[in-house]
Structure 1
Amino acid sequence: MKTALKKLSMTLENSNSKTYLELADGRVEELQFTQAQPTHFTVNDSEFSLKSGVTVDLEIMNVDLVATSKEIWPGQEIRVRGGVHGQGAPMKASATIPFKKTITDGVQGESYLYWVMETPEGTFHNKKPIHMKGTLKGLPPKDATFYSESVVPLFDEQDNQVGQIYGCLQSN
């Protein structure tokens, strides 16, 4: 059963992220990102079940991150954009609140991220989402850490695989 819930807009003012970037030629770097712009997202209708509780669906409207390369392109900026200003559409996320619990108890959250990564060697993107998981204690997700467990291929503008990212970690 769907409950009527108006779309609610929220902003995450800052976060820190890191990921490993491995290029096809074997160069590898752990990139430390800071948030260049606040992340905007909306909370959509919720799904309620007596057995499982409430699932809150979110749309991440934008992600704008920046890092300075220390190894692959020393001193050069790498920028990541996601959402409307990245691949042109909001990214999906959700929080699952089990029956007889509240979000402040700490609940499972997950997101599916698509990035456009601007590098000195061109613009890269992922076709398979970066699946991030973490524990939420509120919205916006402050004091939360999200992580990925998969390796995600990266492609250039001609759709050639140019590398991969893995070990993604985000702290809000």
Structure 2
Amino acid sequence: MKTITKKIGMTLENSNSKTYLELLDGRSEELHFKQAAPTHFTVSDSEFSLKTGVTVDLEIMNVDLVATSSVIWPGATIRVRGGLQGQGRTMKASASIPFNKKMADGVQGESWLYWVIETPQGEFHNKKPIHMKGTLKGLPPKDATFYSDSVIPLFDAEDNQVGTIYGCLQSN
């Protein structure tokens, strides 16, 4: 296996996301997010093997999303921050390109996201990553959709569980 260690910076200019937020008191809402600022990430540490192909590792530097609540906190802005401006560290992603296949053919991509969600009730965060999966045809991942099929607990600043998020979907 050979490792290539060159870092390349990239920007994703536009993205739309949705997720279901459910609080412990039973209130829930499907939130539709727009990208408030471009997402910056670096591509680095690619590993190549004749048996498996290429694995491209990415570091997501920031995520900045906004939605307007219509059910839980009607009219309030809900903001999601991830990466350095969220929980203070980059988030990880990868793309797996099988041997004898090109990324343009469509390859499996994954990301592991940690968010800080700013709400009128305070900031919530996840300790378990939101594992997103999708198909990539290039970098930055334009015309790609990623989804998560797990339920992720959310915690407040005192580490009390306040709710969950699930059904995360991102379209670039």
Give the TM-score band, short-chain normalised. Answer: over 0.9
Moved over 3 A (4+): none
Deviation larger for 45-54 or 131-140: 45-54
The alignment covers a number of residue pairs equal to 172
Using the size of structure 2 for normalisation, the TM-score is: 0.99
Q: In the alignment, does 2:152 pair up with 1:152?
A: yes
The corresponding residue for 2:168 is 168
The corresponding residue for 2:14 is 14
Q: Which amino acid aligns with 1:89?
A: R
Q: Helix, strand or coil for the counterpart of 1:158?
A: coil
Q: Distance in 1 between the 2:128 and 2:55 partners?
A: 23
Report if aligned partners of 2:2, 2:49 keep a CA contact under 8 Å in 1: no
1:73-95 residue CA offsets vs partner (Å, 9 max, x unmatched): 00000000000000000000000
Once the two structures are superposed, the pairs formed by residues 41-52 of structure 1 within 5 Å of their partners are: 41-52=41-52
Q: Distance in 2 between the 1:89 and 1:103 partners?
A: 27
Aligned-residue offset at 1:49: 1.3
Q: Which runs of 5+ in 2 are unaligned?
A: none
Report if aligned partners of 1:17, 1:33 keep a CA contact under 8 Å in 2: yes
Aligned-residue offset at 1:52: 1.0
Cα-Cα RMSD: 0.6
Once the two structures are superposed, the pairs formed by residues 20-169 of structure 1 within 5 Å of their partners are: 20-169=20-169
Aligned-residue offset at 1:58: 0.2
Q: Distance in 1 between the 2:149 and 2:53 partners?
A: 26
Q: Distance in 1 between the 2:80 and 2:34 partners?
A: 10
